[in-house]
Structure 1
Amino acid sequence: MPTTTDVLISGAGVAGPTLAYWLHRYGFRPTVVERTPAERLGVGGHSVDLFGPAVEVAERMGLLPAVLAARTGTEVVSFERPGRSPIVVDLARMVAGISDRHVEIMRGELTSILLGATRDHVEYVAGDSIRALAQDGDGVQVTFEHGPPRTFALVVGADGLHSNVRRLTFGEESSFRQYIGGHLAIFTVPNYLGLRGRVLNYNTPGKVVGMYPLSDYRELRAGMLFRRDEPFGDDHRGVEQQKSLLRETFARDGWEVPRLLAELDDAADFYFDSISQIVMETWSDGRITLVGDAGYSPGPAVGGGTSVAMVGAYVLAGELHAAGGDHIRAFRGYEDRMRDFVRLARTIGPTTMKSLIPATASQVWLMPRLIRLVTRLPVPLQRRLSTLQGDPARALAAITVENYD
Structure 2
Amino acid sequence: MSNLPRITFNSTLEDLVSYAFQIDSTTPGRVVAQEFHKNPEIPGVIIVDQDQVTGMISRANFREQMNHLNRKTLYLSQPIQLLVDVIRIPPLILSKYCTILVAANQALTRPKQLIYEPLVIELEPGQVRLVDIQNLLIAQNQLLNFSYDKIQQQNLKLNQCGQKFEEEKSKVKQYQESLQQKNSLIHQQYNEDYSKQKAKLTQYTQSILQLNQHFVRVSERILAETHKAFHSIFLSANLTYRNTEHLFEISEAISRDLEAINSTSQMLGEIIQKVRHLAVQAAVVTYQYDSPKPQGLSKIGFEINRLVSETSKVSDQTNSIASQLKFHLQELRESALEDARISCSILSHIEQAENVIVELEQFVHSSLTHQENAQYDSTDAQYIIHTIERALKCAEDKNN
TM range (shorter): under 0.3
Task: Give the helix-richer structure, 1 or 2.
Answer: 2
Q: Which protein has the larger Cα radius of gyration, Structure 1 or Structure 2?
A: 2
Question: Comparing both chains, which one has the higher relative contact order based on Cα–Cα distances under 8 Å and sequence gaps of 6 or more?
Answer: 1
Structure 1 length-normalised TM: 0.17
